[in-house]
Structure 1
Amino acid sequence: MQTYHNTVSGKQTEAADHQEIFNPATGDSLGLAPLNSQHDVNVAVEAARMAQGAWARVSDQERREIVANVAQVLEENSEYLAGLVTQEQGKPLSGPGSRFEMQACVGWTKVPSSLELLPETVYEDDTRKDVLYRYPLGVVAAIAPWNWPLMIAIWQIIPAIRMGNTVVLKPSEYTPIATLEMVRLINQVLPPGVLNTVSGDGRIGAVLTSHPDINKIMFTGSESTGRRIIEASSQNLAPITLELGGNDAAIIMPGTEAAAISEGLFWGAFLNAGQTCACIKRLYVHENDYDAVVTALSDVASQVPIGDGMVESNLIGPLQNAMQYNKVKELVADARANGCDVMEFGDVPSTGYFLPLTLVGNARDGQRLVDEEQFGPALPIIRYSSLDDATASANRLSDALGASVWANSLEQAETIASKLEAGTVWVNQHGAIHPMVPFGGNKASGYGVEFGMEGLKGVTQSRVISIKK
């Protein structure tokens, strides 16, 4: 059985304890991943701290070139890493799956390597000149999730090192192997200590985020864990970027042609078997269009193959873990018991954490499947009679990562979009993120943004030099 390792100071390290990782589609063992101790965290943070000063002194142009080399390493190893993601996380190789995730890793590495965050003259007159500079914060603690384990880790790693910080990354205990292997490969072109890893469950995450030598925390995951990280950060006063998921609402405006938008709606909801923070989790449909929308979505869902992602023809994989599998089953059962119309599609394998693609008709606000983020392949469809009612329903929950409006008229759609309380509101698309466009949540979906110039600013500290003329 293969044993995987953390990388600290550019070297593979041994751990005293390990956990066995299994394929959620087949139950097959994938190998042993390290389980670290508080001492291991201290060693990794010290390695990052010792490397940070020299890394910050590397010229900006040279850092950009090194990050571009990281993109090349990711490109050269994309197929290997995609295979690990499919076996460990479950998403298929094909379609918007693990190869797609690797393409995103490369893109979200190339773009920061191309950006310059130049000094900004914020004020000048005859008597004074004030220039804002941005400097690295120091050591960044990054906590990556299990749903897009490599892509979101890259979102955290690359802007941080691009701006002269060093990083200690903890992958999810559900999906550590692919992430540890990606970091091992990246370290081929990084100076030792710039990027380090530790592994384990939330207890190791708590040790890392409360460590006195951590200067910035980046976390993607649940609201409950996010709140614990905020508490942990009181030990070091580190600023935090939090992306805590969402219960994204989509509103289809009256009269919108259902067949024309059905595929976009489907993948907006069922990407990665619904295990995506910015997936459609609630669909609001005008009562006159309800039947047409359900029919159009049913037509798409009935044609999408489900199964082991290593089979090229499959486009939907399993839930990643038993906890999530049982949660989604429970929410669908609750909806069925409360009078919803549960429509299931797809031939589901008898082994693994597979669930059918599920449309839940006649759902209502206040039901668990509507009000709780399901994070799985079950979409509640809610009738509305007026756009004001639909907007109010969409805004009533505290989860506010994304939302979308679907319409024939862009002008009308933008009017409704401006009323939705979410970090990003898409029109005639959902989850369409871009490495140059800031992305983050509102309300309980977190704070701070990633991507583009704003994302680079988020991993720096500002310093104003004010000169009297």
Structure 2
Amino acid sequence: MTTMETNQPLAVYAIINGEKVESEQQFPRENPANPNEIVCYAPVTTREQAAQAIDAAYEAFKTWKWTSVDDRITRMRRAIAKLKEATPELARLLSLEHGKPLYDSEGEFAISIMWMEFACDNVKEATQEEYKEHEKGKTIITHDPIGVVSAISPWNYPISLSTIKIAPALLAGNTLVLKPSPFAPLAVTKVVEIIAHEFPPGVINIVHGEADVGVELTSNPKVAKIAFTGGTNTAKHIMKAASETIKKMTLELGGNDAAIILPGFDVNNKKDMRRIVISNFLTAGQICMIAKRMYVHRSIYDDFVKKYVEAANQWIRVGGPFNPNTTVGPVNNKNQKEYVQKLVDDARNKGAEVIKLGEIIDPELFEQGYFLQPTLVLGCDYRDPIVVEEQFGPTVPLLVYDDIEQVIELHNESIYGLTSSVWGPEEEAIKVARRIEAGTTMINTAAVQGLDVRFPFGGVKQSGVGREYGIDGIISYTETHVINLPIELDLPYIPE
């Protein structure tokens, strides 16, 4: 079975103030493994409808912010229970519209639910009121909800990168309007519908559409915070739109995450080598925290290339998302496929060696879908586009270095700093990690293999502002309010 059987395209809709809302215009979402098949039609929400969703959230906030944290947790746990029950079907819808293999979609739901449960378990501690008595009097510190949150999520991990915003926002007492990507609108709408059923109307809303909807979500004065995951260039426009009303922001942006392979790395360790391959090609390389460029010390370079190709050929099986043998599916959309192919062709034309990896197990499907065979690119210059740009697809350049100072400089000169990884003896790897400019550095692992929702995640430099996950990811949806009760109301240095 290579595709999911559907009788007709499925319905997608906006949810505003608890009601399903359709639009006059719709846009199709094709199956990336078979672009001739339309998976769903999503509404083109108008800017006016987006404003209505914000108005609904604004009104709902007036009462929702006063609900007890216990009530919010109870509602969220009911939603989580229903999401768990619906995961098998929802994961299939996600694979159908996104292209990622079914195991990958199921994994995304598992991570999402893990985070939502963590947020439920820890929101009380994160937002607990502090009461302090001291020589100057008394101080009460509260963590209050902010207001209406505009959440904008991308197509590559639409469920986890939506729930990463939804759970802490609602649990902290905010209301929310979500806009998912038009390249993955179906499964996330079903998820929001399930969650919305457990909350009062207007607390959580979802809209779809074009750039004008995004402008409304980021400029409307009733929006108090923006939570965005996506490209750095888009974030620059969001920051400009939000500047008029000085909105709070959490931005998780692009990265050009490097893997640094130290001379002490054991190339014969099959488990670690497989881990590196997965860190390059999971979700067809379409993960913000994937290892997008590799630097290998010259002393082990030849052996590393040989063992890497062996490991890649063992793990990579390119096919349709519902083929149980598939490990790498198609790229999500035509534009992304063309962009990645252009980077590979540019490197080849400049003299780089392009090595095709893995096995194509669905040849007929491969020819008609947005598939790219994974590639390892050797002999690039350090400044080639495939090295300095974020490929976001199934290709990775491998470069040689001679000393650690050289590779640290190459890493840190990037405008990005989301994640990174260092591979080798633990003590030496940690020393290198401490000198790397990144929000997260993983040792002997990378990508979602090293993700832990208990700890903060985010980028430095142009890879983002703020943190998600962990206690920090809950606190970021609150305002700190300090209430002072001084004993002495008169200060000695102020004249009578």
Q: Could you say whether these structures have the same fold, taking a TM-score greater than 0.5 normalized by the shorter chain as the test?
A: yes
Q: 1:123, CA displacement in angstroms?
A: 6.0
Matches of 1:136 and 1:61, distance apart in 2:
15
Find 2:82's aligned residue among 56, 65, 73. Answer: 73
Q: Does 1:399 align with 2:416?
A: yes
Listed one character per residue, the Cα deviations across residues 333-358 of structure 1 (whole Å, up to 9, x for unaligned) are 01111111110123261111100111
Give the secondary structure class of the aligned counterpart of 2:181: coil
The runs of 5 or more residues in structure 1 that have no matched partner are none
Listed one character per residue, the Cα deviations across residues 317-373 of structure 1 (whole Å, up to 9, x for unaligned) are 111011110010000001111111110123261111100111011222100100100
- Equivalent pair of 1:74/1:105 in contact (CA under 8 Å): no
Q: Does 1:105 align with 2:112?
A: yes
Q: Does 1:465 align with 2:483?
A: yes
Q: What is the TM-score of this pair, normalised by structure 1?
A: 0.97
Give the secondary structure class of the aligned counterpart of 2:292: strand
One-letter code aligned to 1:289? I
- Equivalent pair of 2:17/2:205 in contact (CA under 8 Å): yes
Equivalent residue, structure 1, for 2:321: 309
Equivalent residue, structure 2, for 1:191: 200
Matches of 1:292 and 1:88, distance apart in 2:
39
Equivalent residue, structure 2, for 1:449: 467
Matches of 2:369 and 2:202, distance apart in 1:
38
Q: 1:122, CA displacement in angstroms?
A: 8.2
Find 2:165's aligned residue among 152, 156, 161. Answer: 156
Matches of 2:137 and 2:379, distance apart in 1:
65
Equivalent residue, structure 1, for 2:5: none
Q: 1:121, CA displacement in angstroms?
A: 4.4
Q: Does 1:331 align with 2:349?
A: no
Find 1:7's aligned residue among 12, 15, 20. Answer: 15
Matches of 2:370 and 2:251, distance apart in 1:
28
- Equivalent pair of 1:70/1:109 in contact (CA under 8 Å): no
- Equivalent pair of 1:213/1:236 in contact (CA under 8 Å): no
One-letter code aligned to 2:385? R
Matches of 1:35 and 1:5, distance apart in 2:
9
Listed one character per residue, the Cα deviations across residues 395-429 of structure 1 (whole Å, up to 9, x for unaligned) are 1111110011001x211111000000000011111
Q: Give runs of aligned pairs for residues 28-427 of structure 1, distance below 5 A.
A: 28-94=37-103, 97-115=104-122, 116=124, 117-119=126-128, 121=130, 124-260=133-269, 261-303=272-314, 304-345=316-357, 346-347=359-360, 349-407=366-424, 409-427=425-443
Listed one character per residue, the Cα deviations across residues 213-263 of structure 1 (whole Å, up to 9, x for unaligned) are 100000000011000000110233211100112000110110311232211
One-letter code aligned to 2:311? V
Listed one character per residue, the Cα deviations across residues 272-293 of structure 1 (whole Å, up to 9, x for unaligned) are 1100000001100001111221
Give the share of equivalent positions with the same residue, in percent.
Answer: 35
Equivalent residue, structure 1, for 2:494: none
Matches of 1:362 and 1:288, distance apart in 2:
16
Give the secondary structure class of the aligned counterpart of 2:135: coil
Greater CA drift, 210-219 or 302-311: 302-311
- Equivalent pair of 1:172/1:201 in contact (CA under 8 Å): no
Q: 1:4, CA displacement in angstroms?
A: 1.6
The alignment's C-alpha RMSD in Å is: 1.3
Matches of 1:47 and 1:380, distance apart in 2:
48
Q: What is the TM-score of this pair, normalised by structure 2?
A: 0.92
Give the secondary structure class of the aligned counterpart of 2:472: helix
Matches of 1:163 and 1:400, distance apart in 2:
29
- How many residues are treated as equivalent by the alignment? 466
- Equivalent pair of 1:52/1:139 in contact (CA under 8 Å): yes
Matches of 2:432 and 2:10, distance apart in 1:
53
Matches of 2:11 and 2:278, distance apart in 1:
36
- Equivalent pair of 2:256/2:293 in contact (CA under 8 Å): yes
- Equivalent pair of 2:129/2:143 in contact (CA under 8 Å): no
- Equivalent pair of 2:127/2:475 in contact (CA under 8 Å): no
- Equivalent pair of 2:26/2:41 in contact (CA under 8 Å): yes
Matches of 2:402 and 2:112, distance apart in 1:
42
Give the secondary structure class of the aligned counterpart of 1:36: coil
One-letter code aligned to 2:119? P
Matches of 1:262 and 1:413, distance apart in 2:
16
Matches of 2:101 and 2:119, distance apart in 1:
28
One-letter code aligned to 2:409? A
Give the secondary structure class of the aligned counterpart of 2:296: strand
Give the secondary structure class of the aligned counterpart of 1:435: coil
Greater CA drift, 274-283 or 123-132: 123-132
The runs of 5 or more residues in structure 2 that have no matched partner are 1-8, 488-496
Listed one character per residue, the Cα deviations across residues 150-197 of structure 1 (whole Å, up to 9, x for unaligned) are 110000111100100010000001111111111112222122111101
Q: 1:120, CA displacement in angstroms?
A: 5.6
Matches of 1:268 and 1:441, distance apart in 2:
18
One-letter code aligned to 1:16? E
Q: 1:51, CA displacement in angstroms?
A: 0.9
Larger Rg: 2
